[in-house]
Structure 1
Amino acid sequence: MQEPEIKTVEQSPVGIKTEPAGQIAYPASEPAWQEWAETVSEFTSQLPNYIARFFSDYKQPLLTLGLFIAGIITVKVTLALLDAINDIPLLAPGLELVGLGYTGWFVYRYLLKAADRQELVAEVNKLKTQVLGSDS
Structure 2
Amino acid sequence: MESQSYEKETQTQESSAFNDDVAGVITTATSPVSSSGDADWQEWVNVVVDYLAKLPDTLGNFFSDYKQPLTTFGLIITATITVYVTLSVLDAIDNIPLLSSVLELVGLGYSAWFVARYLLKASTRQELFSEFDSLKKQVLGGKSQ
Confirm or deny a common fold (TM above 0.5).
yes
Aligned partner of 1:134 in structure 2 is 143
Which residue number corresponds to residue 39 of structure 2? Answer: 31
* Alpha-carbon shift at residue 39 of structure 1 (Å): 1.0
1:69-121 CA-partner distances (Å, limit 9, x unpaired): 11111111111111111111211110010000011011111111222222222
Following superposition of structure 1 onto structure 2, how do residues 26-65 of structure 1 map, counting pairs within 5 Å? 26-27=34-35, 30-65=38-73
Contact preservation (8 Å) 2:119, 2:125: yes
Residues 118 and 124 of structure 2 are in contact (CA less than 8 Å); yes or no, is this contact kept in structure 1? yes
Aligned AA (2:45) = A
CA shift, 1:51, in A, is 0.5
Q: How does 1:46-85 map to 2 (within 5 A)?
A: 46-85=54-93
Unmatched segments (≥5 aa) in structure 2: 1-31
> Which structure's residues are more often helix, by fraction?
2
Report the TM-score, using the length of structure 1 for normalisation. 0.72
Corresponding residue for 1:3? none
Number of residue pairs matched? 113
Q: Given the superposition, is the C-alpha separation of residues 31 and 105 from structure 1 closer, same or farther in structure 2, using an over 3 Å criterion? A: same
The answer as to 2:106 corresponding to 1:93 is no
Distance in 2 between residues matched to 1:110 and 1:40, nearest whole Å: 70
Q: 1:135 and 1:101, CA in 2 relative to 1: closer, same or farther beyond 3 A?
A: closer
Please say which of residues 64-73 and 123-132 is displaced more in the overlay: 123-132
Q: 1:91 to 1:126 in 2, by over 3 A?
A: same
Which ranges of structure 1 fall in alignment gaps of 5 or more residues? Answer: 1-23
How far the C-alpha of 1:123 sits from its partner, in A, is 2.3
Alignment RMSD: 2.2
Percent identity of paired positions between Structure 1 and Structure 2: 54
SS of the aligned residue for 1:90 comes to helix
